[in-house]
Amino acid sequence: MLKNLPKQSDRVFPAQLRSMKANLYITRKGVARKLNSPRLLRISFHTLRHWKGTTEYHKTRDIIHVQKVLGHRDIKSTMVYITLENALFHSMNEEFHVKTAKTVDEACELLEIGFEYVTTFDGIQVFRKRK
């Protein structure tokens, strides 16, 4: 359906940064009022960027991957997310759901629902996913 839309620009839903910010601020203000939480008024696009970087590092434990996702030139800028991840998730236990697969189809099913491959042991593939 999206391919059939008239192509007037490179973006599917063209918008200016100013209108996106205005929409975020209006929505944020309404949610903060509805939930009676003035802390929500402090959320910005930059906050969401930090959250993405932190959760991406938590999932992958790969600082180079996070650097590429966020487009940082200097690894020192990306190192902030290690500190944030430790502060936010240090109390979380590193417990996993573990599943095994004997066939390619079973392995594909596990990958599709978010499990990650760990190793193969005696011809059985082992997968895990954080609880």
Per-domain residue ranges of the chain: 18-89, 96-130
pTM of the model: 0.55
Q: Which helix (H) or strand (E) holds 7?
A: none
CA distance 45 to 82: 20
Sequence-distant (6+) residues with CB within 8 A of 11 are none
pLDDT in tens, the chain (131 residues): 767 777 777 776 667 778 888 888 999 999 999 999 999 999 988 888 888 998 888 888 888 999 999 999 999 988 888 888 888 777 655 677 899 999 999 999 999 988 889 899 888 999 988 77
Amino acid type, 66: V
Rounded to the nearest 10 degrees, how much is the dihedral formed by the CA atoms of 69, 28, 131, 51?
Answer: 30
73 DSSP β-pair partners: none
Determine contact, residues 113/107, Cβ cutoff 8 Å: no
Question: Which pLDDT does position 2 carry in this prediction?
Answer: 67
Whole-number CA gyration radius for the chain: 20
CB count in 10 Å sphere of residue 57: 25
